[in-house]
Amino acid sequence: MSELLRKSVAKEQHEQKIETRTGLEPIAGSTFIAVTVFAVLVAATVYAQDKYSLKSPGGIAFSDFKGYDDWAVVSSARTDEVLKVIVANPAMINAYKANVPANGQVFPEGSMIVKLQWKPKRSTEAPFAVDVPDVFRQAFVMEKDSKRFPKTGGWGYAVFNYDAASDKFTPDEKSPADCGHSCHLAVKAKDYIFHRYQKR
């Protein structure tokens, strides 16, 4: 009788081990899937933020201009090779709306402006001749910080080039913090800014 009892207890313990192991397998599988999904999301986030880790040779961080893709449009321009859209941060837009620099005032510290540049192409959809943006080429940035850039009217300049094949930005190695100053001297009276805020 005791032998029968011993075998019965042993069988029950064996079945419990099988149930425990089977019950844990889905948990382990779920844990693996959750960890994998988390790793992919982290990698995607890091990749998406990669451009904001860049700095120009002059020390201007791309991260200073984070959110520029949502900034208001100031103006646009066009050359034979490049289609340009100029955007500015809220501080600069507010100054524009207060009639800076036409009122003789300068843009406030912290003002930022970005010139976004595309290679144009002829539209194949419009029923009339019109050029539209094709491949994005670069972001030319300016920021107002008189303490950091006292020799260039308070403005720092940088260029971040974009390569469509790799989908990556790189700082232009030929653009020190004063890279645009010599060109912008022509509009010193307008606080070194070419574009006025266009009526809309």
Per-residue pLDDT reduced to its tens digit, 132-176: 999 999 999 999 999 999 999 999 999 999 999 999 999 998 877
Could you report the per-residue pLDDT of 61-105, keeping only the tens digit for each? 999 999 999 999 999 999 989 999 999 999 999 999 999 999 999
- pLDDT band for 17, please (50, 70, 90 cuts): low
Sheet of 131-144: strand order equals: 72-78, 83-88, 112-122, 131-144, 155-163, 168-171
CA distance 140 to 32: 44
Its CATH architecture, for the domain 57-190, is 3-Layer(bba) Sandwich (3.50)
Beta pairing, strands 131-144 & 168-171? unpaired
Q: What pLDDT is recorded for position 177? A: 72
Q: What is the pTM for the complete model shown?
A: 0.73
